[in-house]
Amino acid sequence: MLLKLKTNAAVELTSRVNNLYCSRSLLSRTLLCTFLVVACFATKVQAEEGKTYANSKDFQLHGFISQGLIDVNGSDFVNDDGELSTELTEIGLNATYQLTDTFRLAGQVVYLDGGNRYAQGARVDYALLDWSAFTDEQWQANIYLGRFKNNHWLYSSSRDIPFARPSIILPQSVYFDGFRDIAVGSDGIAAKLSHSTDEYGNFDLQLSYGSSPISDEQTKNILSEHAQGSAEQDYDAQASLYWQPAFSPWRFGVSLLEAGFTYDSAGQANGDFFFDSDFTFQFYTMNAIYEGEAWEFSGEIYQQRFTIDGFYFPAFQLDNVGQGFYLQSRYKLTQQLTLLARYEDFYLDKDDKDGKEMEESTGGAIPYYFGFHKDTTIGVNYDITSNFSVRAEYHWVRGAGRLTPVVAPNPAINDSEDWQMWAVQLMYWF
């Protein structure tokens, strides 16, 4: 009976995803449909043979559901009225199917409700074909085709799974929720080359190239609620290299990203105040993580370059370089209880860290505090059972540099430099 309920839920969720997320690329949708057919067939076969649905050698099915409460005082990070909100919902279903010794299908569908952080609804996080192109004792090479998952940043591979990431709200200086759907993955091709030796340790080189579709709601979140045109990501090229010294609890990494976007205005006759424009975004990070028995230390430092050609008016141009970092520590007090502390700092323009030049250049339309974001966070996680946890955290934030919309901020609602938020979330996974 439990298998039947979970299978029906999976079919219902994937059907909803196909209806709501039909803008994905043809390649990703083809792979996803193939994957779902194979997954449903494998589940049916396992049921008939009396096997556990998630423990087959070739087929693995897992899921999660999390629900929480979040309260933000002083910004529109979640909602516009500042009231206590239940917009902290994450439901997901992911599965893999081993086609052959070298080919594997993998995919994940999720339903999210995060208020103003990102678009509410269902989406496909990834749907890919994984080809294990080469493997021996020291080397492994994989090629990923379809809607691949971004694994370039320290927590990018776990940001889409509530219980796998370190906190309810990740450091926004790097894992900005306004870019969540664009940053999780892309439609295209990715490759990973791993090398391991007892002398030098483990090396992981990853390369990817693709693009992500941008919905109308995402366009408003990123650009402006008044944007009536359409935005498109032209390309997203990324590379990363990670090194873990032999027998060491430390891991170090660097990553590079460059992406291009275009905005096609709907025209002033259709009520669009903005003009055709081109955007480029470059993002470079260095990171490190230490994972001991009780302590974990991690951090990322980065520099970004953001350019705009057009948008506000045809001749408008912007080219600024921002910087930021976060430092985080987790301590496992008991087997069930883990404590967290984090500080992050972000400047939209490294030459205007207090935002005063930005305020002057806009005639006061954009206040100075939109030029930075500083967040001090404390949190706690308690594992009630092996697959059921509760998490809570509190944030003291200064600045509005990481609020949506990004390009044309909303100072009418975000009229405070200092604001706070707290969140509690229950998480279950199988």
pLDDT digits (tens, 9 = 90+) for 347-380: 999 999 999 999 999 999 999 999 999 999 999 9
Under 8 Å between Cβ of 87 and 113:
yes
* C-alpha gyration radius of the chain: 22
Residue 103 structure tokens: 């080919």
| Packing angle of the helix pair 2-20, 26-49 (nearest 10 deg) | 170
pLDDT > 60? residue 315: yes
Q: Among all chains, which residue has been given the structure tokens 């899921």?
A: 63
Q: Please state whether beta strands 388-398 and 201-211 pair in parallel, antiparallel, or not at all (unpaired).
A: unpaired
* pLDDT of the residue at 292: 96
What would you measure as the largest C-alpha separation in the chain, in angstroms? 71
Residue 158 structure tokens: 């776990």
* pLDDT of the residue at 128: 97
CA pair distance 266, 264, nearest whole angstrom: 7
State pLDDT tens for residues 209-249. 999 999 888 888 888 888 999 999 999 999 999 999 999 99
* pLDDT of the residue at 244: 98
CA pair distance 42, 220, nearest whole angstrom: 40
Q: Among 24-33, 178-187, 271-280, 421-430, which range has the highest average pLDDT?
A: 421-430
Burial class (CB in 10 A: 0-12, 13-18, 19+), 338: buried
Q: What is the dihedral angle through the alpha carbons of 72, 73, 75, 79, rounded to the nearest 10 degrees?
A: 50
Residue 254 has a CB neighbour count (10 Å cut-off) of: 14
Q: What is the dihedral angle through the alpha carbons of 399, 401, 403, 408, rounded to the nearest 10 degrees?
A: 120
Burial class (CB in 10 A: 0-12, 13-18, 19+), 195: middle
pTM of structure: 0.85
* Superfamily covering domain 2-429: Porin (2.40.160.10)
Under 8 Å between Cβ of 240 and 255:
yes
Among candidate residues 76, 74, 66, 130, the one with its CA nearest the CA of residue 102: 130
Under 8 Å between Cβ of 377 and 397:
no
121: alpha, beta or left? (left if phi > 0; alpha if psi -120 to 50): left
* pLDDT of the residue at 41: 46
φ/ψ of 204, rounded to 5, equals: -130, 115
* pLDDT of the residue at 55: 52
Mean pLDDT of 178-184: 92
Tell whether omega for the bond before 405 is within 30 degrees of 0, i.e. cis. yes
Under 8 Å between Cβ of 403 and 409:
yes
Average pLDDT over the chain reads: 88
Q: Please state whether beta strands 250-264 and 139-149 pair in parallel, antiparallel, or not at all (unpaired).
A: unpaired
Q: ∠ CA(258), CA(263), CA(267), 5° rounding?
A: 170
Helix (H, G, I), strand (E, B) or coil at 174: coil
State pLDDT tens for residues 38-93. 444 444 444 444 444 455 779 999 999 999 999 999 999 999 998 999 999 999 99
Residue 165 structure tokens: 């990431």
* pLDDT of the residue at 183: 93
Under 8 Å between Cβ of 426 and 241:
no
CA pair distance 93, 5, nearest whole angstrom: 14
